Amino acid sequence: MKTVKLNNGVEVPILGFGTYQITDAGEAEQAVKEAIAAGYRHIDTAQSYMNEEAVGRGIAASGVDCKELFITTKIWVENVSYKGVMSSFDRSLKRLGLDYIDLLLIHQPYNDVYGAWMAMEELQAQGKIKAIGVSNFGVDRVVDLAAFNDTTPQVNQIEINPFQQQTKNIEALRKEGVAVEAWAPFAEGKNDIFTNPILTKIAKKYGKSVAQVILRWLIEQDIIVLAKSVKPERMAENLDVFDFELAKEDKLAIATLNQGESQFFSHADPEMVKWMASRKINI
């Protein structure tokens, strides 16, 4: 599979498998095992998804060597501090059944981001993490973090889909050497995305599905994309996006869908910051 090279040389498979909202342990284990069997080599989880242990069992059951896989997890807000990363990282590793993590992200731009970053730099220097990055950070916060530390984040994982295209932010992050990952490429089905007339028309033209058109649109921008499905037929469908290319007029048509705002919530909303700060997961 096509890869994206990070600013420290680490290569990331451009299409990854997302595991958000697969909370049932049996379902998460099965989904990860099936996703790897379907051909995914990049799996995205997080402490807050409460499924790291099941994801780890799915990885082990797949029979594929961890060295052939790219595994990401994320530090939840309550663990975002020097001590919080140092202790919770080991617990994440243990739950996942791994010796190292390919990519560790600060999940949200809150709490002691600087202390957490220092711990992540140390763990990376020890070889326990291949790449370190952030998620849901504004470009200004990324630049600030890079300015006062040795390591520029290798990745920023943000919401990107046809309704929230983030074109300027993507350009600005790349200018700083930060690779971009897209979460909720299908906007989790919001806003009738799968029956959107513009996307449906483009999909028909190529004999593809709306989901495939969206993934292709992201991949053609060299954006690392995470797609989630618990259904094996959709896992396979979402992987089958490397045999067509979108014409310029189709990309221009998709550009008109941009609403320029999140389909979910704003990370700058004080009420959301308070909610995230109060969400304790104790793991």
- Per CB under 6 A, residues contacting ligand NAP are 18-20, 44, 135-136, 157, 183-189, 194, 209, 211, 226-231, 234, 237-238
CB of 35 to ligand NAP, least distance (A): 11
CB of 108 to ligand NAP, least distance (A): 7
**Roughly what angle, to the nearest 10 degrees, separates helices 232-239 and 25-38?**
40
Give strand ranges (E) for the chain: 3-5, 11-13, 15-18, 42-44, 70-75, 101-106, 129-135, 155-159, 179-183, 224-227
Establish whether 107 is an annotated binding residue. yes
CB of 110 to ligand NAP, least distance (A): 12
Is the distance from CB of 100 to CB of 130 less than 8 angstroms? yes
Say which residue the tokens 């995470």 belong to: 226
Residue type, 120: M
The phi, psi pair for 239, rounded to 5°, reads -85, -20
Q: Which two tokens stand for residue 166?
A: 């983030």
Between 57 and 228, CB nearer to ligand NAP: 228
Between 93 and 158, CB nearer to ligand NAP: 158
Residue type, 2: K
281 vs 76: CA distance, rounded Å: 8
Catalytic residue among 20, 40, 49, 82: 49
CB of 19 to ligand NAP, least distance (A): 5
The question of whether 100 is a catalytic residue gets the answer no
CB within 8 A of 228, min separation 6: which ones?
Answer: 17, 18, 19, 20, 21, 22
CB of 44 to ligand NAP, least distance (A): 4
Chain position whose Cβ is nearest to ligand NAP? 18
Cα 109 to Cα 18, 39, 158, 273: the distances in Å are 20, 32, 11, 9
Four-residue CA torsion sign, 281, 225, 120, 178:
negative
32 vs 54: CA distance, rounded Å: 8
The residues assigned a catalytic role are 49
Please state the residue numbers annotated as binding site: 107
Task: Please give the annotated binding residues for substrate, written as ranges.
Answer: 107
